[in-house]
Structure 1
Amino acid sequence: MRSMVFAEALLPEGWRHDVRIDVDALGRIASVTPDAAPGRLIALPGLPNLHSHAFQRGMAGLTEHAGDSDDSFWTWRELMYRFLAHLTPEDVEAIATLAYAEMLEGGFTRVGEFHYLHHDPAGSPFSDRAEMATRIAAAADATGISLTLLPCFYAHGEIGGAPPMPGQRRFINDLDGFAALVEGSRRAVSGLAGATLGLAPHSLRAATIEEIRSVACMAQPWEPLHIHVAEQAKEVEAAIRVLGMPPMAVLLEAGLLSPRWCLIHATHATERELADAARAGAIIGLCPVTESNLGDGVFAMPGFRATGGRFGVGTDSNVLISAATELRTLEYSQRLGLRARNVLAPRGGSTGRALWQGAVEGGSQALAAGSTGFAPGAWADIVIVDGAHPAFVSRSGDRLLDSLIFAARASTIHEVWVRGTRVVENGVHPRRADAERRFAAILARILAA
């Protein structure tokens, strides 16, 4: 049993002082005792990152040069296809290792890896269909981040079952091939502490509703299900033209949605669709930095929250990795759209706390992480900040959390613990230097090609 004491800790019921957290040998919280003993540091529950494409960390900064036509998600996607054509399994593992180290340094303690890069550059399966999934698991193991691996089913190039494009050949499976991939992915995470599996039909662009239903049937009852939906206006228009209704409405009409589902982006879903998704218990997975970078649009958060909807955040394209930055960008996007302040705070309450606690609860549900926050039985996933930092002068509780999100640099995170093991010390992950060296060699090779 290990005991840790904190000057303040954010418990499910709110901030408490002089908190002792006892952690058992498996890395789970055994007990939480407020008013127990004086401490110096401040503890927050680790944040789940519910949506990541780790390999895209290698593209960060490479898509900010305007093309000859109007740039959009679709032009960005073409560059992504060209980039991934160069990646070997070793490259994917190395890039994911750096991305996961940065996630831990930035306050994320679990990642949902929405994994669709399955095959070799010609589109042929590796001798082990789960070769790439095994590389993702190896990166999680090396860094210590908890993993929810989400192998992705991708069969078509557009809504209605259109043939895939050449740039998509590394993603493509039929249902039988995907079933084999799922079993290999289960083996890849079976020996990884704290890991779990979920399944991810990519989108209605990449899978028909019948295929989505078949993929959902492959999942075990406790495994989560993730899907991209209504990310782009063009996607919604195509669904209406081909299927007669928007993509979110297709999922609702099929009766698929439940608390097991996480709907990624949902930027262009209607108010009624979002209310129905909230009633079904589905989580909305928001990726504010990527959605801003791609010019996706602004999610209708106040109306969704008013219906009891739950959300989590993800880093998606990993263009810039930081839990606080995702939460800050989420709130700022709402302020810009509505010309208001503290949009996501309850009346008289803290915006930072509403964001952090909401993302912990929704992200944990979406990634099947079990009990959330500092409660007996939950994983001891702890983000520790130093109250003596200049950003936190004369602040505590909610005011300190507001400052962490809106007025502090990433360096304010002092330590991070995952499943009772310290993985970040003095703000730095021990694998960072080696991961950066490998990453630099990969990028030098690709950009010289």
Structure 2
Amino acid sequence: MSLPTLSRSVFATQAFLPEGWRENVRLECASGVFTRVQPDAKPQPGDHRADIVLPPLPSLHSHAFQRAMAGLTETRRDPADSFWTWREQMYALAARIAPDGMRAIAAQLYMEMLKAGITQVAEFHYLHRAPDGTAYDCPAEMARSVIDGAGEAGIGITMLPTLYRHAGFGRVLAPEQKRFESAPDFIAGMMADIAATYRDNGLVDVGVGLHSLRAANREDILEMLALTPERAPVHIHIAEQQREVADCLDFLGRRPVAWLLDEIPVDEHWCLVHATHLDAEETRRLAASGAVAGLCPVTEANLGDGLFPLEDFIDYGGRFGIGTDSNVLPSANEELRLLEYGQRLALQKRCRALPGEAMGSVGRYLYDASLKGGTQACGHGGGALAIGLRADLCVVNEEALSLPDLQGDTVLDSLIFARATFPANDVLCGGEWVVRDGRHIHENRIAAAFLSAIRHLHS
């Protein structure tokens, strides 16, 4: 039986607005944006009534195709198992995915994100070519499949066609990387195709990805930037693994983040993904650049990457957001919880994610900072419950929290540190209700297509 249509107006007992928590907030939207956000209001007939309303978090870094291997890489196959051995399994999966399968996998993943309270994703996409390495008739075929999967789920997407030109510093691509092969003009063509194809879709934005300093040299990067629209988001993997840092020192004579900041005009439009292994000066300089550090704690833990120097980065005023990356567990609250707990374990102190000697709620700081940083990195017109911004919101039932009668910042502390999953009861994205009573509006259809695609892929 289908659920009745929910109103485009919401009355919340408490809501997290840009200025902080407010009570009795009434929100209206039209044409996909908020047209009214009124605190201290009274409910009107027909309003959707909610206990708690939050602006949803973005995932600033995702590889959608890797959702098809979640849970399949946890068997040790090498006594020295590492990121580099995991990568061989990822390559094997990447070689088998076709456009139709990609769409089904993406739709499932993005449905899971929406149910976890995520309404915007930056997709770092480098699965460009057919399995034999030839270009599709439409070079953006695979990227379009991902975007169409996002459309089926109803999530906002920042598509980042990604430049992947070398296998490593000074090395040609390996045969297993032939699907990733690209040059700056190839990526620029994809960006133009996506911008034209989805020009009237308010849920689709476009930027550019640079796979890494291993995969794109200085000339590649500068050429790519010259072909990229001004103010478009620019994302890059960097300093994820210690071996990468050592190789960069050997080949370029500098550490990766230091080299990038020295040689390339990095600014607030950039997102440096992982940036796990920074020295003190790189930490200070990255914070001063205005770029966002794209942190993916679940994947970084899963791959044994290491821990980002969060405490020092925050003290320098650095901006950060969270990404679901390999999508082994698409969960915004798990990313934030692990980010904080990693610091506690490393430093043997509690409540680390606050600047300097500041007091207050760690949950509030993590949520607010990752909301702002993630929105900046995705380059989209949302990220807050405010008039004129994209109408995204997440309804949380207070009965789903760890304790009754929680107010204000304790709500965020409970959501992050005392809930196994994010209790998104209803989710609005671009003015459309996509999650109702904890279920996606197209859940059965999307799940069935995903099941068929996965069985075909792994048969």
TM-score under structure 1 length normalisation: 0.96
Once the two structures are overlaid, the 10-residue window that deviates more, 111-120 or 39-48, is: 39-48
* 1:65-214 pair list within 5 angstroms: 65-160=75-170, 162-214=171-223
What is the rounded CA distance, in whole Å, between the counterparts of 2:93 and 2:105 in structure 1?
A: 13
Instruction: Work out the CA distance in 1 between the residues paired with 2:60 and 2:422.
Output: 23
Percent pairwise identity = 43
Q: Kindly state the Cα deviation for residue 322 of structure 1 after the two structures are TM-superposed.
A: 1.1
* 1:27-46 C-alpha deviation (Å, 9 max, x unpaired): 11123211112554200101
Q: Secondary structure at the match of 1:388?
A: helix
**3-state SS in 2 of match to 1:292:** helix
Q: 2:379 aligns with which of 363, 368, 371?
A: 368
Aligned-partner residue type, residue 45 of structure 1: P
Q: Which of 297, 302, 306 is 1:288 aligned to?
A: 297
Which digits, 9 at most, give the CA deviation of each residue in 1:342-386, with x for residues without a partner?
110353311111111111100111111135311222111101101
Cα distance in 2, alignment partners of residues 445 and 418 from structure 1: 31
Matched with 1:56 is: 66
What's the C-alpha RMSD, in Å, of the aligned pairs? 1.5
The answer for the alignment partner of 2:348 in structure 1 is: 339
Once the two structures are superposed, the pairs formed by residues 312-323 of structure 1 within 5 Å of their partners are: 312-323=321-332
Structure 2, unpaired ranges of 5+: 1-6, 44-48
User: Aligned to 1:394, which of 389, 398, 405?
Assistant: 405
Q: Does 1:36 align with 2:35?
A: no
How far apart, in 2, do the equivalents of 1:204 and 1:26 lie? 41
Alpha-carbon shift at residue 66 of structure 1 (Å): 0.1
> What's the offset of the Cα at 1:393?
1.0
Partner of residue 242, structure 1: 251
Q: Report the number of matched residues.
A: 446
Please list, as runs of the form range in 1=range in 2, the aligned pairs for 1:362-441 lying within 5 A after superposition: 362-370=373-381, 372-389=383-400, 391-410=402-421, 412-441=423-452
Question: Runs of 4+ in structure 1 displaced over 3 angstroms?
Answer: none
Quote the residue 1:12 is aligned against: 18
Q: 2:58 touches 2:374 (CA, 8 Å); kept in 1?
A: yes
Name the aligned partner's letter for residue 39 of structure 2: P
CA distance in 1, matches of 2:280, 2:16: 33
How far the C-alpha of 1:439 sits from its partner, in A, is 2.0
CA distance in 2, matches of 1:115, 1:18: 41
Preserved contact between residue 141 and residue 192 of structure 1 (Cα < 8 Å)? no
Name which of 220, 228, 234 aligns with 1:219.
228
The change in CA–CA distance for 1:371 and 1:104 in structure 2 (over 3 A counts) is closer
**Matched residue SS, 1:196:** strand
Does the aligned pair in 1 maintain the 2:124–2:162 contact within 8 Å? yes
Partners of 2:227 and 2:150 lie apart in 1 by 24
The Cα shift of 1:273 comes to 1.1
- Preserved contact between residue 47 and residue 323 of structure 1 (Cα < 8 Å): yes
1:13 and 1:388 mapped to 2: Cα distance? Answer: 25
Q: Of residues 241, 248, 254 in structure 2, which corresponds to 1:232?
A: 241
**2:203 aligned counterpart, secondary structure:** coil
Residue 388 of structure 1: how far off its partner (Å): 2.6
SS at match of 1:268: coil
Q: What's the counterpart of residue 252 of structure 1?
A: 261
Cα displacement string for residues 227-250 of structure 1 (whole angstroms, at most 9, x for unaligned residues): 001001000000000010111111
Which ranges of structure 1 fall in alignment gaps of 5 or more residues? none
SS at match of 2:86: helix
Contact map agreement 2:128 2:135 (CA 8 A) in 1: yes
Deviation at 1:222, TM superposition (A): 2.4
Query: Which residue pairs with 1:264 in the alignment?
Result: 273
Map of 2:46 onto structure 1: none
Where 1:355 maps in the other structure, the secondary structure is: helix
Q: How far apart, in 2, do the equivalents of 1:390 and 1:9 lie?
A: 15
Contact 1:137 1:192 in 2 (8 A): no
Contact 2:54 2:394 in 1 (8 A): yes
Q: Which amino acid aligns with 1:37?
A: K
